[in-house]
Amino acid sequence: MAAPRTRRLPKLSEIQARWNSFRSACDLLSHEIDSSAKASISILRQSGHCVEITSDTLQRENSTFEIIIWSLVVYVILIIFWVLIFSGIAVYLFLLFLPASYVVGILSSRMLGARYRRRSSRVRIDRLERKVYYVSCGDDGRDTLWVLDWDDLLCIDYYHGRGQGYLYLVGYPSNLTGEKLVRIPIIGLRIGYSNASTWVWLQRYMAGDTGLPAPTIESPPRTWRDVLQRCGGRWVLESFTDTKRRWWLLLTIWVDLVIVLLIMPVMALPQLVILTYSEPQFPPDNDRLCGFALN
């Protein structure tokens, strides 16, 4: 007869000692399912027994706000520096220097923190094995798979003022030697989004609730065409392809010019650069285990 599995549930005091940010602006969510609470979630995809969720990402507008602000600050500093050093020819090279200085600002945004060095990360919740899978990127650049037991983790709702909120799954990975307390972030869908609703949805999903509301499917941009269309390109394209819109082309062409010359460079350039960033990959064995090998 197999020996019973020993549970190692972390304590809140351990978590707060490990991460000072959890001493305020956070709530420890209950393991008991609140039947009266709203259940909703945004997922990337799902198989018969597993859901894949965005852990963290730079591919949402609200997630790139800091990058845009940082890039504009660097852009203004570089422009001032350029004018002071090369004031004689600055007028002629001004337009050529605009995109380059902004891209420099975007690339330098990686200095804001580790989360700005990867395009996105994902977490998988396996209902069959009752496991949580997450690929962590270490300081050495190597990816490490964490496997956490669903029944041995704590869930913390972290919020910082009116900014982007996170849901943190905290526990001890069962596949690593020694005891290493880790946290897995799940980013809210948008600013003001209720992370508690995500937790309720996951609880009911793991319990096999047949009346669970359908999840929202999230589709992050994968190509430069996706980025341009989401940053105003779809509106501009419809000005020429939509039959009704073509009647107003002489008027809408000015709006299209503003989008192409002002809005798209500011909004699309960060996403185009971020599209070149790498993202952690799950091992092929985990793809097969979670039912994503053929997707």
**Residue 194, in any domain of the structure:** yes
67 has pLDDT over 80 = no
One domain, residues 167 and 213:
yes
**Residue 204, in any domain of the structure:** yes
One domain, residues 49 and 168:
yes
How many Å apart are CA 255 and CA 253, to the nearest integer?
5
Instruction: Tell which residue, 6, 280, 14, 52, has the closest CA to residue 170.
Output: 14
Question: Cβ–Cβ contacts within 10 Å for residue 55, how many?
Answer: 22
Mean pLDDT, residues 46-61 taken together: 89
pLDDT class of 101 with cuts at 50, 70, 90: low
* Final residue in a domain of this structure, among 161, 189, 219: 219
Mean pLDDT, residues 236-257 taken together: 73
One domain, residues 213 and 104:
no
Q: How many structural domains compose the chain? A: 2
In the chain, % helix, strand, coil (3-state, to 5) comes to 45, 20, 40
- Model pTM greater than 0.95? no
Q: Parallel, antiparallel, or unpaired: how do β-strands 42-43 and 216-217 relate? A: parallel
* Final residue in a domain of this structure, among 192, 219, 246: 219
pLDDT class of 128 with cuts at 50, 70, 90: very high
One domain, residues 47 and 140:
yes
Query: What range defines the domain where residue 196 resides?
Result: 12-56+120-219
Q: Do the beta carbons of residue 193 and residue 230 sit within 8 Å? A: no
pLDDT value of residue 4: 46
One domain, residues 139 and 20:
yes
Instruction: Give backbone dihedrals phi and psi of 171, rounded to 5 degrees, phi first.
Output: -175, -170
pLDDT class of 61 with cuts at 50, 70, 90: low
pLDDT value of residue 265: 73
One domain, residues 67 and 188:
no
- Residue 21: which residues within 8 A CB-CB, separation 6 or more? 158
One domain, residues 73 and 175:
no
Question: Cβ–Cβ contacts within 10 Å for residue 36, how many?
Answer: 6
204 has pLDDT over 70 = yes
